[in-house]
Amino acid sequence: MRLHRLARLVAAAAAAIATVSTAGCGDDLSRPGPRGTGARTSAVVGQAGGIVRLGGAAIQFPPGALPADTTITITSTLERPPGSFARWYSPVYRFEPEGLTFAKPVSVALRLDSPGPSPALYWSQAGGGPGFDNLGGIVSPDSIVSPDSIVSPDSLVASITHFSRGFVAASDGQAGDGGVADGGLGDGGALVDAGQPDALGPCINTVAILSTAARAETQVATTPPVETGGTLPTAHFELLQVQIFTGPSGPSGPTGNMLLEGLDVTMLSPTQATFEFAGQFNGGPVVRSNFLATINGASFTMTPTCLGPPPRMGSFTNASLLTIQEPGPAGMAIQYSYNLQ
């Protein structure tokens, strides 16, 4: 859905990532920041998915993320982040089994025990790498918190594809040398930043594009239909058509643009979901974008949780097809239709 608009915004579709070294060591006890309690909790999660919580940390597995029953453990550690972080906003949490990977992206929420500017989720690298990746994230406002949501006020929500350690810190707050105190993460490692102050991290998801037939973008000279809302499932969708409603006296016919797109919807609560997209615009490279969506009746607001697209507002209908409609240029409306897979 976001594909052709995102392609026009970020062209090549890949965010450049700068690597910052944290060589060196030293536990600077003067660095302020939240520390964990050492508390631990475990729960078994299976193919049907589920939620595991510990204090200010929560993780939600969508159906199909795990192939079988797995014991998931969260620990609020006594560690500090690497010494290159002058500011951090949450304890360092350990998620186990170490190295576990997921068939679908998993949502993690960490409460900002010491809120501050430019928060981002830093997550230990896949494959046992020595550093942390900046995965960005979005801080959830109080208005979208509900009893069955994984988030609480002042929580940062992001998507992950593997376990183990993570914490929230200022994305522009790195200074000094490296090392992680008291936690056994060792000296240094690479820290990945988005390359600009206050930026979110790169878009990472595992959304598949199942269709091989690109869909033509078409202009329709009429007013757009009124979206009526409905109940959204946690599911995978494939793009079926894209229509630009240009108004009764507007142009009609194909624009010449061709799109392929897959969409994964993960419901976090009746009024909150993650929308994750992957697709191709005119045969170009695969573009990925992730959003946290707040749903109010038939309307939604989508806030990006990674670099690329700006926040979007629109409406939807989930009947025989999922249709998502957004404002287009010059008063037009763009409607994307998806098949449930």
Task: Give the model's pLDDT for residue 191.
Answer: 25
Instruction: List, for residues 109-160, the tens digit of each pLDDT value.
Output: 888 887 777 888 899 988 777 788 888 877 765 433 334 455 556 788 888 8
Task: Give the model's pLDDT for residue 174.
Answer: 46
CB-CB contact of 306 with 274 (8 Å) = no
Task: Give the model's pLDDT for residue 292.
Answer: 85
To 5 degrees, how large is the angle CA 263–CA 269–CA 275?
20
Instruction: List, for residues 11-21, the tens digit of each pLDDT value.
Output: 222 222 223 33
CB atoms within 10 A of CB 228: 13
Under CATH, which number does the domain 3-8+207-340 receive?
2.40.128
272, 294, 290, 268: which is closest to 206 by C-alpha? 290
CA Rg, the chain, in Å? Answer: 21
18-193 carries CATH number 2.60.220.30: yes
Q: Who has greater pLDDT, 233 or 28?
A: 233
Q: What is the pTM of this model?
A: 0.51
Task: Give the model's pLDDT for residue 187.
Answer: 27
Measured distance CA(150)–CA(281) in Å, rounded: 34
136, 145, 125, 132: which is closest to 58 by C-alpha? 145
Measured distance CA(275)–CA(106) in Å, rounded: 12
Measured distance CA(246)–CA(203) in Å, rounded: 31
Question: Could you give the percent of the chain with pLDDT greater than 70?
Answer: 76
pLDDT of residue 265 exceeding 90: yes
pLDDT of residue 201 exceeding 60: no
Break the chain into its structural domains and give their ranges.
Answer: 3-8+207-340, 18-193
Task: Give the model's pLDDT for residue 202.
Answer: 58
Instruction: List, for residues 49-81, the tens digit of each pLDDT value.
Output: 888 888 889 888 888 889 999 999 999 998 888
Tokens 């200022």 label which residue? Answer: 170
Measured distance CA(149)–CA(3) in Å, rounded: 28
CB-CB contact of 46 with 33 (8 Å) = no
